[in-house]
Amino acid sequence: MAQALSAPAADEIAARDAAKLNERSAQTITLAVEGMHCGGCLRKVETALMNVPGVAGARANLSARRVTALVKGADVNSVALIEALGNVGFKAADLPIDRIKPLEGADDALLRRIGVAGFAAMNIMLLSVSVWAGHGDMSPSMQSLFHWVSALIALPAVAYAGQPFFRSALDALKAGRVNMDVPISLGVCLATAMSFYQTMRGTEHVFFDAAVTLLLFLLIGRYLDQAVRVKAASAAANLLGLRGGAATIVDAEGKTSRVAAHKIVPGMRVLTASGERFAVDGRLVEGAADVDESLITGETTPRAVSQGGRVYAGTVNLSGPVLSEATATDQNTLLAEISRLMLAAEQARGRYVRLADRAARMYAPAVHALGLITFVGWMLAGQGWEMALTAAIAVLIITCPCALALAVPAVQVAASSRLFGMGTLLKAADGLERLAETDTVVFDKTGTVTLGEPQLVDPDAIDKAVLARAAALASVSRHPYARAVVRAAQASGLSVAALSDVREVAGFGLERVSNGTSERLGSAAWVGFTAPADGRSGVYYRAADGSITLLAFEDRIRPDAKEVMETLKAAGYRIEMLSGDQKPVVEAVASACGIDTWTAAASPADKIHRLETLAAEGRKVLMVGDGLNDAPALAAGHASLSPTTAADVSQVAADGVFQGERLAPILEAIAVARATRRMSLQNFAIAIGYNALFVPLAMAGYVTPLIAAIAMSASSIAVTVNAVRLRTMKLELAP
């Protein structure tokens, strides 16, 4: 008979049911966060979101630069979260779910398998060492017990940890081909099965440890390779978050509201404040602005935009509030097109087949044939299936492609360590191999050949009082030239205090009126001066007494740029420069560096087209660039490098990044890449020589599976020792 519940108990159950319902109605919102670099940033981001009413939890991912919030209730949306992060100094953008799912958990499964294989390998090795150390003294029953414990650990570990290789091998066989994973899977499975059979028989020769340890090292290598791929895909998705994220919409009645950028449609009017990014492509309908387009073009000089002028998503409004009319949807902006160009170029380069993979095409069938010949030969000799299978397993273990698989990675690790010590970080698994094949180097200009930051020319020649007063005016502006003036004044030891009542006029400059007199900082026309046609870029300061001073700027060329170009030419490389900047500036830099072939005013698509033209001519191009506009070209080049000052997406698109103000790391990277290729071929020779020596012995029955495992390890050590030499070799870039 049912018993009636008391009122408190019923209330408690109702509250629990409501909580469960509320939990089911919760949703997650994922944001791409810009500028999250350390654990302190991570905690700050999570705390800011947790302080938003309706947010039940927040978890930030530092490597992916994302944060996921658990939101309960319909009152909290992505706009509120973006604004909360903006209040603590982080720009964020909504990341639609279709861009997140392909990246979630891409390498979690591999990490779990590595953990299982590592745990199993350590414990089985301890048991094996005990058996080996107690050989002759250990009773057969104790030895059998140790083998059974090893089997209990190894069987589930192999079944779980080996799944990536087993699935890959099965897919290859279904497609009528073989790959590296086929001999690996065959060797692991046969070794495990034969060990289990020998354990059941009570014999002393089992090799569970070899099978599990092999899986462990192969899983580690696969995880590192996949981590790079996931990071690249994550950065490509985050690129679309560089749009405004949220925007202020003005309706027909003049009322404003905040909406997510991906909900904007053509025709909507968008209000963009000073210092804010434009959320979508559009045209100005009210106001004028200086627009920082460095994100798109890579150039530091802002562009003046008046009514009717075009503005692009991701660029920054440096002037006062302006009203624009959207002309494109979220997915059809120039920024989105750059993202698509980069992904398409990356996929095209992804079809490149590495040296180790090419070798595997010939190696894997040969291994299978040798194993089969061994088994059939021993069967025909009348030795029985057990002896035949043991000999075949020994052949498979001897020929297990560990040395072959390590031939390239071992050298790459040594090369990466050497380059890292010199300030260059390599990321792509096959980047060194492609870099060694290049014969043409194409440079971006701003931020690559030059340092990408305007600097005041000869500040010591400017009167200190004038420089201090100009810096006081400039301190209220975000314009790159204004910030350069402030930096120069501070570097000269001057105290810079921001002035009040300063008016900024888009496209002209800054003005302050005091006691009936005005002082201005800006263009020549703004201060009433006729500028000489000498090609110099800069601003003019007009003091209250009417005196005018030119503040000229230059984008300083990297100190060793000309020397690097001459070295590359002497080594037989063809040199070009592609830039989005204007012709006079590009021509001047090219002339100063000794670059004969250059292109100005190049868009991202123009750069890709030029690289495709060079490729059609049979050239293998090393692309060196730093801006967002260079990311598609970096992905399209046969190989690519980027300075550490580059945009995040450019660093991810590139095969490697280099530090410092000098271009010399490019020469070192090419020299190391060439040496890496030579030593990789040497390692292949070592691996083939080892197989030529031991395979006949294994086929003849002179090598047991245990000896085969030791020999296999010895070959791996040999290629590793050879690779380590690269760290201390003296290298020069020669023709």
Q: What is the pLDDT of residues 414-438, one digit of tens each?
A: 787 788 777 787 766 577 888 999 9
Question: How high is the mean pLDDT of the chain?
Answer: 77
Instruction: For residue 3, tell me if it sits in a domain.
Output: no
Quickly state the pLDDT bin for 130 (edges 50, 70, 90): confident
| Residue listed under structure tokens 């060492």 | 129
Q: Is the pLDDT of residue 236 over 80?
A: no
Q: How many domains does the chain have?
A: 4
Higher pLDDT, 730 or 715: 730
Instruction: For residue 200, tell me if it sits in a domain.
Output: yes
Q: Tell which of 530, 555, 580 closes a domain.
A: 555
Q: What average pLDDT does range 294-319 have in this prediction?
A: 75
d(CA 495, CA 498): 10
d(CA 155, CA 62): 36
Q: Is the pLDDT of residue 77 over 80?
A: no
Question: What CATH number does residue 84 fall under?
Answer: 3.30.70.100
Same domain, 299 and 318: yes
Question: 278 by DSSP, 3-state: which?
Answer: coil
Counting residues of the chain whose pLDDT is more than 90, the rounded percentage is 13
Q: Tell which of 306, 331, 356 closes a domain.
A: 331
Residue 627 has what pLDDT? Answer: 62
Question: What CATH number does residue 461 fall under?
Answer: 3.40.1110.10
Flag the least confident range among 45-54, 346-355, 546-555, 659-668.
346-355
Same domain, 125 and 226: yes
Higher pLDDT, 409 or 392: 392
Instruction: For residue 394, tell me if it sits in a domain.
Output: no
Quickly state the pLDDT bin for 96 (edges 50, 70, 90): low
Same domain, 89 and 129: no
d(CA 43, CA 39): 6
Residue 357 has what pLDDT? Answer: 55
Q: What average pLDDT does range 27-41 have in this prediction?
A: 72
For the chain, the farthest-separated pair of C-alpha atoms sits apart, in whole angstroms, at 114
Instruction: For residue 504, tell me if it sits in a domain.
Output: yes
Same domain, 175 and 149: yes
| CB-CB neighbours of 454 under 10 Å | 23
Is residue 416 a contact partner of residue 408, using CB atoms and an 8 Å limit? no
Report CA-CA distances (Å) from 707 to 555, 711, 712: 64, 6, 8
Q: What average pLDDT does range 714-719 have in this prediction?
A: 74
> Which amino acid appears at position 368 of this protein?
H
| Domain enclosing residue 499, as ranges | 452-555
Quickly state the pLDDT bin for 386 (edges 50, 70, 90): confident
Quickly state the pLDDT bin for 475 (edges 50, 70, 90): confident
DSSP string, 57-107: EEEEETTTTEEEEEE-STT--HHHHHHHHHHTT-EEEE--GGGTGGGTTTT
Higher pLDDT, 619 or 88: 619
Same domain, 128 and 206: yes
Partners of 71 in the β-ladder: 27, 55
Instruction: For residue 693, tell me if it sits in a domain.
Output: no
Higher pLDDT, 135 or 370: 370
Residue 232 has what pLDDT? Answer: 46
Q: Tell which of 331, 365, 383 closes a domain.
A: 331
Residue 331 has what pLDDT? Answer: 63
Residue 589 has what pLDDT? Answer: 92
Higher pLDDT, 275 or 174: 174
Is residue 109 a contact partner of residue 67, using CB atoms and an 8 Å limit? no
Q: Which of 246, 322, 242 is nearest to 282 (CA)?
A: 322
Instruction: For residue 425, tell me if it sits in a domain.
Output: no
Quickly state the pLDDT bin for 632 (edges 50, 70, 90): confident
Flag the least confident range among 196-200, 413-417, 586-590.
413-417
Residue 356 has what pLDDT? Answer: 55
Residue 570 has what pLDDT? Answer: 93
Residue 352 has what pLDDT? Answer: 43
Partners of 503 in the β-ladder: 511
- Region class of 509: left (phi > 0), else alpha (psi between -120 and 50), else beta: left
Flag the least confident range among 36-40, 343-347, 676-680.
343-347
Q: Is the pLDDT of residue 653 over 80?
A: no
Same domain, 121 and 191: yes
Please state the pTM of the whole predicted model: 0.59
- Within 623-730, residue ranges assigned H as helices are 631-636, 648-653, 664-699, 705-724
Q: Is the pLDDT of residue 720 over 60?
A: yes
> Which amino acid appears at position 619 of this protein?
R
Higher pLDDT, 301 or 346: 301
Same domain, 131 and 220: yes
Same domain, 112 and 221: yes
DSSP letter for 277, please. Answer: B
Q: What average pLDDT does range 353-376 have in this prediction?
A: 66
DSSP letter for 135, please. Answer: T
| CB-CB neighbours of 380 under 10 Å | 9
Flag the least confident range among 618-622, 681-685, 701-705.
701-705
Quickly state the pLDDT bin for 620 (edges 50, 70, 90): very high
Catalytic residues: 444
Question: What CATH number does residue 309 fall under?
Answer: 2.70.150.10
Q: What average pLDDT does range 113-132 have in this prediction?
A: 84
Instruction: For residue 546, tell me if it sits in a domain.
Output: yes
Residue 621 has what pLDDT? Answer: 95
Q: What average pLDDT does range 560-568 have in this prediction?
A: 94
Q: Is the pLDDT of residue 451 over 80?
A: yes
Q: Is the pLDDT of residue 321 over 60?
A: yes
Same domain, 193 and 302: no
Higher pLDDT, 2 or 506: 506
Residue 100 has what pLDDT? Answer: 46
Report CA-CA distances (Å) from 470 to 520, 536, 640: 8, 19, 41
| Residue listed under structure tokens 């003296």 | 730
Q: Are strands 256-260 and 246-250 parallel, antiparallel or unpaired?
A: antiparallel
Higher pLDDT, 296 or 662: 662
Same domain, 460 and 537: yes
* 597, two tokens: 């072939």
Residue 569 has what pLDDT? Answer: 94
Same domain, 262 and 309: yes
Instruction: For residue 467, tell me if it sits in a domain.
Output: yes
Same domain, 121 and 183: yes
Residue 597 has what pLDDT? Answer: 94
DSSP letter for 6, please. Answer: P
| Residue listed under structure tokens 């319909």 | 74
Is residue 634 a contact partner of residue 650, using CB atoms and an 8 Å limit? yes
Q: What average pLDDT does range 18-44 have in this prediction?
A: 65
Residue 258 has what pLDDT? Answer: 77
234: exposed, middle or buried (C-beta count within 10 Å: 0-12, 13-18, 19+)?
buried
